[in-house]
Amino acid sequence: MTGNFKFRRAIAIARKEVMHIMRDPFTMIVALVIPVFLTVMFGFAIDLDIHDVRMAVFDADISQSSRIVYEKFIDSKYFVINKVAPLVARADRPLTTEKSKLSLIIPHKFEEDLYNGRGAVAQVLLDGSDNTTVNLVAGYVAGIETALNQQFYESLAPQPPVKLVKVTPRFLFNPEQKSPWFIVPGLSVVILAILSILLTSLTIAREWETGSMELLLSTPARPAEIILGKLLPYIALGLIALAFIYVAARLVFGVPFTGSYLAFITGSLLFIGTYLSMGLFISVVAKNQQLAMQMSLMAGYMPSMLLSGFIFSIPNMDTIWQWFTALLPARWYMTICRACYLKGASFGDLIVPFAALIILGLIFFTAATKKFKGTLE
């Protein structure tokens, strides 16, 4: 060896570090168990192939040929029909309310046009706000169109028209399939989740480390009052951050905002309050910044990125994981953001996400209060 470097000292430090890791269960879990758990979980949960896409059928012809058309969708194994009805003025309504991802419109005289040589036309409405699935669904529709033409061609031989059936897709909410329109509203969910949970967890954990929390605990204030008092300033900061994100989305990326501002602000307040409560609960449990940081990343960053619908579509997951995502606030706020930005959603259209956020927020606020109260006893 040259200089002052002593290899045996490096070995001694390494041995000491190994002993420290062996004595620290959390470090062992993070280093060994969590990676395996996440690999297995996401390996089962995420499937980039789409199955059981919910579709609504609006059949104004009610003929044998029109029935053949939507049964061909069922036979493909990619689609599940949840509604068959005559043609109505708002065929896009099932997409707006998240009941369907696709609406098939078969006009009146479809069968007549098919057999008189003019060629029949049907229309498919797709939810263009979900960029992760819409292109695959459009590809499935194109394949079904080819299969339908082949089937009708054979039934009308020897003199069929050149092309019997034409299915024309039209993308709603994001007609030009611009990626920023899909990505930016989702990013606001991820950013707010990380910001909210880290603001409270690290700040309170720092107070535990420096000893200033003991001064606060010596006051007559009740645990719920302390928790709420801690939440309010960070709710204001979260709304300011949301305003910056909104300005960037509108001015920099040109993302439209077509929904209700009242619904958007209400959903944002519920979401920020829920994640701040989660951060307070983490800080009370952790009481040091390093642990609070690790727990915050695990509870805030990873679920909001991977299980909220931001990157991977929730309908692509197994049923058990779809139910699991219902426990994550980011999943519901993702629905609110995209619906308000792109779908023109009103307050009434988002009752279910609002209710879910209220329930989850109350759970985390109560848990933080009770755990904080436990530290006083």
Report CA-CA distances (Å) from 196 to 93, 161, 239, 243: 34, 61, 10, 14
Go through the domains of the chain in sequence order and give each one's CATH number.
7-45 (no CATH), 53-172 (3.40.1710.10), 179-376 (no CATH)
| pLDDT 10s digits, 248-288 | 888 888 889 999 999 999 999 999 889 888 888 888 787 77
Q: Give residue-wise pLDDT tens across range 230-248.
A: 777 778 777 888 888 888 8
Residue 260 tokens, joined: 């209700």
Q: Give the up-direction half-sphere exposure of residue 58: CA atoms within 13 A in the CB hemisphere.
A: 19
- Residue 322 near residue 315, CB atoms below 8 Å: yes
Phi/psi at 184 (nearest 5 deg)? -65, -45
Strand partners, 54: 80
Cα-Cα-Cα-Cα torsion 233, 234, 235, 239, nearest 10 degrees, comes to: 110
pLDDT of residue 2: 43
In three-state form (DSSP H/G/I as H, E/B as E, the rest C), the secondary structure along 60-81 is CCCCHHHHHHHHHHHHCCCEEE
- What is the identity of the amino acid at 216? L
Beta strands in the chain (DSSP E): 53-59, 79-85, 102-106, 120-127, 165-172
From the list 73, 62, 80, 66, the residue with the least C-alpha distance to 152 is 66
pLDDT recorded at residue 101: 86
Beta bridge partners of 106: 59
What does pTM read for this prediction?
A: 0.69
Stretch 193-211: mean pLDDT, rounded? 72
Task: State whether the Cα torsion 192-198-203-205 is positive or negative.
Answer: positive
∠ CA 180-184-187 to the nearest 5 degrees? 140
Residues 6+ apart with CB under 8 A from 127: 95, 101, 102, 134, 172, 173
pLDDT of 12: 58
Q: DSSP state, 59?
A: E
Kindly tell me if the per-residue pLDDT of 193 is higher than 60.
yes
Give the H or E element holding residue 310. Answer: none
| Strands 120-127 vs 102-106: parallel, antiparallel or unpaired | antiparallel
Alpha-carbon distance 343 to 187, whole Å?
17
Asked if 263 and 347 touch (Cβ cutoff 8 Å), the reply is yes
pLDDT greater than 80 at residue 158: no
57-71, 112-126, 203-217, 257-271: the lowest-pLDDT one: 203-217
Phi-psi category of residue 344: left, alpha or beta, with phi > 0 → left and psi -120 to 50 → alpha: left
* Cβ atoms of residues 190 and 310 within 8 Å: yes
Give the pLDDT confidence of 312-357 residue by residue, as tens digits: 778 878 888 889 999 999 999 999 999 999 998 888 889 999 999 9
Q: Tens digits of per-residue pLDDT, 105-143? A: 998 888 888 887 677 888 898 888 877 678 788 888 888
The pLDDT score that the predictor gives to residue 334 is 92
Which residue is listed with tokens 């426990």?
327
